[in-house]
Chain A
């Protein structure tokens, strides 16, 4: 390297010298410059994209939870109010017809049981996924807070085709 610079003179000789003498190196340098710039650009892009994704995720989380707290109860309540209005309108339009009974509860009524009991029921209940399941079940009531309003019972269910022992499932039945 020292012999090269002395040969080149005072002005910046190295490049010319190197370009005259070793074009391959210049090509390589150019290539590597472009390549390095490309790599830099790629890493910048990845960095910016990651940040964008993170901030979008944060914004989506904040927007989602805020919507859940502010708007969802409102929608539910307004829907109930509308249903109540429709019901009243129906009653008014019928004018004297006996009033429609309350809507059937969504959960299975389990009845008022005040002592430890074993009871066999056949019917329809909602499974853990929320789908109606036809089957038989027996209830082992261990804790029953019976006030006529809320009953808590532990019950197991099984489908009659299965001969497997029924799975124990905790179901909350509310009688309104």
Chain B
């Protein structure tokens, strides 16, 4: 965004002084409040922290194969075998070994994106993202299952202004939501959201803020459902970034702190995390060949003595 010099190049002599003078000028110049950048969408507020701290851990074996038939159209086959955890009341986790195959089709265009997935246990996922005009975008997300009352649909209308974004959300079961986020300074953006769930008769308000510079991103979110989440990501170098996360539920007095690292090397991407619940986890994606990725996932929960390991292969 505001970085002038691409990382990785060494500055010598004239270049260094000119870059420094440019930075000094920027600071002394009055901030042009009419030309603020567009903020990132409200639901992606914690994007960097989520990417670093919450990769998709899995247990068992996973194999993904994506084949492109066209420039815009591709098919994907995915096999997953492993124990799946069933939530239970007792402290022990009940795991049932399952295996399923998932077939998917993707159509990606400049203006539209259609993604569909079908699983062998009868679930259907569909996602649509469409740019109706330059500023208005429509997103739809549907999940249909065999079990009754477990299917849901969500519809989002996004309007992007010059330095703000607003979103209207409609879901089945009388779920309504709206959010608004505005850039206040070139680095800081603030937002708010309201939602109302008719089925559960709940409504809530939330506020969020995000401060980002070249080297770090700090974001915070408070909601009336009791959730308070703060996160901080520091980009130590172009390959390494460190992230921490603080989640507090002020209704149930539940605190969780986690810290992790994210190494994006040329041949591999390694993410590790340690938690205050006594849980450490790591996720490795290694590039064996062009288009061939080898994934390893490990999750150790020392408190519950629950250990999960997974390996997989991603092709294409």
Taking a contact as CB atoms under 8 Å apart, the answer to whether A77 and B268 are in contact is yes
Tell yes or no: A132 within 8 A of B by CB: no
Taking a contact as CB atoms under 8 Å apart, the answer to whether B280 and A70 are in contact is yes
Contacts of A84 in B (CB 8 A): 266-267
One digit per residue, 1 when the CB lies within 8 angstroms of any chain B CB and 0 when it does not, for chain A 66-83 equals 100110011001101100
Taking a contact as CB atoms under 8 Å apart, the answer to whether B272 and A70 are in contact is yes
Tell yes or no: B302 within 8 A of A by CB: yes
Taking a contact as CB atoms under 8 Å apart, the answer to whether B267 and A65 are in contact is no
Taking a contact as CB atoms under 8 Å apart, the answer to whether A69 and B298 are in contact is yes
CA distance A65 to B307 in the complex (A): 11
Contacts of B130 in A (CB 8 A): none
Tell yes or no: B281 within 8 A of A by CB: yes
Taking a contact as CB atoms under 8 Å apart, the answer to whether B300 and A81 are in contact is no
The answer, among B266, B280, B284, B302, for a CB contact under 8 Å with A73, is B284
Q: When A62-B302, A65-B300, A66-B274 are in contact, do A73 and B282 touch as well, CB less than 8 Å?
A: yes
CA distance A128 to B180 in the complex (A): 63
Minimum C-beta distance from B158 to chain A (A): 38
Interface size class of B (residues with CB under 8 A): 10 to 19
Q: Which residue of A is nearest B288, CB measured?
A: A176
Tell yes or no: B265 within 8 A of A by CB: yes
Minimum C-beta distance from A81 to chain B (A): 5
Contacts of B263 in A (CB 8 A): 74, 77-78
Tell yes or no: B270 within 8 A of A by CB: yes
Contacts of A78 in B (CB 8 A): 263, 265
Contacts of B284 in A (CB 8 A): 73, 77
Minimum C-beta distance from B83 to chain A (A): 19
Which parts of B257-287 form the interface with A (CB within 8 Å)? Answer: 261, 263, 265-268, 270, 272, 274, 280-282, 284, 286
Contacts of B266 in A (CB 8 A): 81, 84
Q: When A62-B302, A65-B300 are in contact, do A73 and B270 touch as well, CB less than 8 Å?
A: yes
Taking a contact as CB atoms under 8 Å apart, the answer to whether A77 and B265 are in contact is yes
Minimum C-beta distance from A60 to chain B (A): 13
Contacts of B261 in A (CB 8 A): 74
Q: When A77-B263, A81-B265 are in contact, do A66 and B270 touch as well, CB less than 8 Å?
A: no
Taking a contact as CB atoms under 8 Å apart, the answer to whether B267 and A80 are in contact is yes
Taking a contact as CB atoms under 8 Å apart, the answer to whether A74 and B302 are in contact is no
Contacts of A80 in B (CB 8 A): 265, 267-268
Contacts of B281 in A (CB 8 A): 69
Minimum C-beta distance from A82 to chain B (A): 10
Minimum C-beta distance from B183 to chain A (A): 37
Minimum C-beta distance from A78 to chain B (A): 8
Q: Which residue of B is nearest A72, CB measured?
A: B282
Contacts of B274 in A (CB 8 A): 66, 70
Taking a contact as CB atoms under 8 Å apart, the answer to whether B300 and A66 are in contact is yes
CA distance A81 to B265 in the complex (A): 7
Taking a contact as CB atoms under 8 Å apart, the answer to whether B280 and A69 are in contact is yes
A-B contact pairs, 14 of them (CB 8 A): A65-B302, A66-B274, A66-B280, A66-B300, A66-B302, A69-B280, A69-B298, A70-B280, A70-B282, A77-B263, A77-B286, A78-B263, A80-B265, A81-B265
Kindly list 16 other residue pairs between chains A and B, CB separation below 8 angstroms, not including A73-B282, A77-B268, A84-B267. A66-B274, A66-B302, A69-B280, A69-B281, A69-B282, A70-B272, A70-B274, A73-B270, A73-B272, A73-B296, A77-B284, A78-B263, A80-B265, A80-B268, A81-B266, A81-B267
Those 6 A-B pairs whose CB atoms lie nearest each other, nearest first: A70-B272, A81-B265, A77-B268, A66-B280, A69-B282, A69-B298
